[in-house]
Structure 1
Amino acid sequence: MAATRYRHFLKLCEEWPLDETKWGRDLGAFLRERVAHTFREGENTQISDPETCDQMYDSLARINSNFYRYKYPRLRDTSFTEVTVEECRMVLATDSMKQMEEAKKGLWKKLMEKFSQKSPEERIK
């Protein structure tokens, strides 16, 4: 039975899209990591709670197949802010998030980083 669960999760991982603009924060990449971690031994992995595993698979499969999108259709493709899907994707991209973090820094922090001997990564360590 564990072998069929493993195959189901592998198929789900193949079908789940990867969003290259969200490296480090992509749900598809996280899902692949969790499946690899959970099924370390492949088809021979023993699942401690098969019921929960099946529920997780069913939930993820419904999300991947857009079950709720078709069950509860929206009148428009925008939110109350009138922001389109493409604009949301652009704002949520990792590059945009880094630019916003950089813009949030105050003048004093920018000057300290510029004239500091150590890089910000070295100071954290």
Structure 2
Amino acid sequence: MAGAAASYKRILQLLEKWPIEEGKVGRDLGEFLRTKITKAYKENKFEANQKYWDSQYISLQRLVNNDYSNKYPRILTSSATGLTAEQCQIALSNEFLKELQEEDQPFYKKIFSLKSKDK
């Protein structure tokens, strides 16, 4: 059990470097990963497959450290929708999604109206 506990602790320490996005409470990837990993530890899944969790740690480390973002920097500042990263972050926030539901407006219309406001 000591090896499992050490692996679990090591993964959680790594995930502490990945901040939870306040605008995505309940839908945040970091929050989801913490929950899944804690559940797996409580179900003793760490003990059964140590190699799997070691590889998961390495993969998470790449994500947390933005390895691929640094290795392959983006040339353009917009996405396929034409929105910038900041605009995409706003469009994916819980607050924005709630506003969309309240207005009963199609998602794509709201995104493109947001884009035109920033010009």
Instruction: Give me the TM-score of the superposition, normalised by structure 1.
Output: 0.71
Would you say the 8 A contact 2:8–2:46 is kept in 1? no
Q: What is the alpha-carbon distance in structure 2 between the residues aligned to residue 96 and residue 67 of structure 1?
A: 29
**1:40 CA drift (Å):** 2.4
What secondary structure does 2:19 align onto?
Answer: coil
Question: Which protein has the larger Cα radius of gyration, Structure 1 or Structure 2?
Answer: 1
Aligned to 1:90: 90
Amino acid of the structure 1 residue aligned with 2:79: S
Q: What is the alpha-carbon distance in structure 2 between the residues aligned to residue 20 and residue 92 of structure 1?
A: 12
What secondary structure does 2:75 align onto?
Answer: coil
Would you say the 8 A contact 2:23–2:93 is kept in 1? yes
How do 1:55-70 and structure 2 match up within 5 A? 55-70=55-70
- Consecutive unaligned residues in structure 1, runs of 5 or more: 106-125
> Considering only aligned residues, what root-mean-square deviation do their CA atoms show, in Å?
2.1
How do 1:1-125 and structure 2 match up within 5 A? 1-40=3-42, 46-104=46-104
- Consecutive unaligned residues in structure 2, runs of 5 or more: 106-119
**1:46 CA drift (Å):** 4.9
Instruction: Give me the TM-score of the superposition, normalised by structure 2.
Output: 0.74
Q: What is the alpha-carbon distance in structure 2 between the residues aligned to residue 46 and residue 83 of structure 1?
A: 41
Structure 1 ranges of 4+ moved more than 3 A? none
Amino acid of the structure 1 residue aligned with 2:23: T
Query: What percent identity do the matched residue pairs reach?
Result: 38
Aligned length: 103
